[in-house]
Structure 1
Amino acid sequence: MTRTRLLAALVMAPLAIAAILLLPTPWMMALAAVLFLAGLWEWFDLAEIEDTLARTVLLVANLALMVAIVWASRASNGYTMVLFQLAVVAGVVWWLLALIWLGRYEFASDHATHARVFKLAAGALSVIPAWCALAWIHVAEPNGHRWLLTALAIVWAADSGAYFAGRKLGGRIFGGRKLAPRISPNKTFEGLAGGVVAGVVVGIVFALIAGAAPAQLPAVALVALAAVLFSVVGDLFESLLKRHAGVKDSGHLIPGHGGLLDRLDGVLAALPVFALGKAVLGF
């Protein structure tokens, strides 16, 4: 599994990096919309929306909201990012609420009730703010494309750091304590620590490449830490959905990685936090 996982990553990573660095922002937004909406399609499956027509209507509704945000952001001198920024703030608030949801495992687990409504709302609140955050970061001057790569590299490094630290050190430092045993039994505090260290270190290195001044690195490290922790929340929330649905992966699109949503869950939570933190702390 590790070999397959690495080979898939070696194929995907160069393509993702090339798209981030070379595509103009409108094309990057369009590509991200396709990927995020594909992940949302898998989310509908976890919410047990089985009717294809219903899922298509829901997907089109989310696409329409993205288009509406772009259309309403037109200004006489180009575009304003106000609606994108408001969506990012809404996304950060949502992921704080998701953290509370994680502590109440049974909430919305019975699909005989209104569970689907909550999970569909959660899908929109996860995908659209993350897409808006991606656009806000990428379009910013100077070096917005490099800052977007920094944000994503933090999540990728944290995911890899957690995976390998968990495999090598799991149970050896924190006495076998699990991070969230009912939601994701394989996640350990050793893995969390490895992910935090990897994410923050990579964030600092990539921030220097993006043009951050040495005096800004403490702020970068703080935002990178927050992004890593929120990416864990995103990962755990998807695991919660999978537990409720009784499945191991959101799909089988990517060898060794599962579905597309399995690769996007941490990104969806981390991007709004990184974008907001970058704006507030001014780097």
Structure 2
Amino acid sequence: MFKQRLLTALVLAPIMVGGIFFLPLKPFAFFIAAIATLGAWEWANISGFERKWERVGYALMVFLCMYISARILRVREDLLIYWLAAGALWWVAAFALVRRYPGGTDIWQSRPIRAFLGLCVLVPMWVGFMHLKVQEHSSWLIIYVMLIVWGADTGAYFAGRRWGNTKLAPHVSPGKSWAGFWGGLVTSVVVALGFAYSLNLWVKPLDGRDVVIVLMIALITMVVSVLGDLVESMMKRHRGIKDSSSLLPGHGGVLDRIDSMAAAVPVFALCVYVFGWSLA
């Protein structure tokens, strides 16, 4: 299993790095849309659509929603805040669903509602990535949100192994603990301070307000990234499956790799927008 995971990671890593950091805007849009579409194909199964034509149809519908979003936002950039705010509001609602589970499933257990929730996860992620991509020093912003998510995962893993006796959401994901949550939070603070120092050194001088914004964005994004993982775990547990698919040998499916990022990116982009924060 470890060898499989390693080989898959060695193949995926250069593809992801090249796609995220070196593609121009339009190819980048299709690159992220392709990832989201694969995620949609998996979400269809999580929603209870098992036939291949149903899953393909759902994936195409999600792609079409991203395309329509692109066309609208191209001529009405002022509407961007509504896409990002809708994505953030979904994660507020998701928190309530995770907290109530296994109760409250009557609200979202129908296949059409679960399919709709997939749109709430995947389309705002794409919009968030596109908003970051058009910013000055976009690579720095994308690196930052990825470091927050990866740092939180790493901190949670080690803190959870060492002190993880009290479970965070035992009915949803028994492996997650409060110690892991706090470990991830501390790691995110370290990442934020390191990022602020790097920006000050290589991009532009930062004042106290900038540092506070960097820290606030990290903390908010980290909390939401944990929620993204929990929501997918809840949906899979309700569906009775372990992985979203077997597309990535040793890693499960695409959703298993991007669940935290799908939650983090639109909220991170919303924070950048609301705080009016720029690296220009």
Indicate the TM-score class for this superposition, using the shorter chain for normalisation.
0.7 to 0.9
Partner SS for 1:146: helix
1:37 corresponds to which residue? Answer: 37
- How many Å apart are 1:2 and its aligned residue? 6.1
Q: Which amino acid aligns with 1:58?
A: Y
Distance 1:282 1:207, change over 3 A: farther
Q: Which amino acid aligns with 1:257?
A: H
Whole-angstrom distance in 2 between the partners of 1:278 and 1:154: 14
Partner SS for 2:100: coil
- How many Å apart are 1:9 and its aligned residue? 4.2
**TM-score where L is the length of structure 2:** 0.88
Q: Indicate if the aligned counterparts of 1:47 and 1:116 stay in contact, CA closer than 8 A.
A: yes
Q: Between Structure 1 and Structure 2, which shows a larger proportion of helix residues?
A: 2
Q: Indicate if the aligned counterparts of 2:185 and 2:222 stay in contact, CA closer than 8 A.
A: yes
Counterpart among 121, 125, 130 of residue 120 in structure 2: 125
2:253 aligned with 1:259: yes
Counterpart among 66, 72, 85 of residue 89 in structure 1: 85
- How many Å apart are 1:99 and its aligned residue? 0.5
Distance 1:12 1:241, change over 3 A: same
- How many Å apart are 1:15 and its aligned residue? 3.4
Gaps of at least 5 residues in structure 2 are none
Gaps of at least 5 residues in structure 1 are none
Matching of residues 106-121 of structure 1 within 5 Å: 106=102, 109=105, 115-121=110-116
What is the count of residue pairs matched by the alignment? 272
Counterpart among 194, 207, 227 of residue 183 in structure 2: 194
Q: What per-residue deviation string (whole Å, max 9, x for no partner) do you get for residues 220-262 of structure 1? A: 1111111110011110000001110111111223344221101
- How many Å apart are 1:107 and its aligned residue? 5.4
2:209 aligned with 1:220: no
1:60 corresponds to which residue? Answer: 60
Q: What per-residue deviation string (whole Å, max 9, x for no partner) do you get for residues 36-74 of structure 1? A: 111121111111101222222222222111111222233
**TM-score where L is the length of structure 1:** 0.87
Partner SS for 2:168: strand
Matching of residues 1-283 of structure 1 within 5 Å: 5=5, 8-9=8-9, 11-75=11-75, 80-106=76-102, 109=105, 115-140=110-135, 142-167=136-161, 169-171=162-164, 176-209=165-198, 211=203, 213-215=206-208, 216-283=210-277
Whole-angstrom distance in 1 between the partners of 2:32 and 2:55: 19
- How many Å apart are 1:152 and its aligned residue? 1.6
Partner SS for 1:74: helix
Name the Cα RMSD after superposition.
2.3
Partner SS for 1:186: strand
Whole-angstrom distance in 2 between the partners of 1:102 and 1:23: 36
Q: Percent identity?
A: 37
Q: Which amino acid aligns with 2:31?
A: L
Whole-angstrom distance in 1 between the partners of 2:249 and 2:51: 26
Q: Indicate if the aligned counterparts of 1:85 and 1:132 stay in contact, CA closer than 8 A.
A: no
Distance 1:5 1:53, change over 3 A: closer
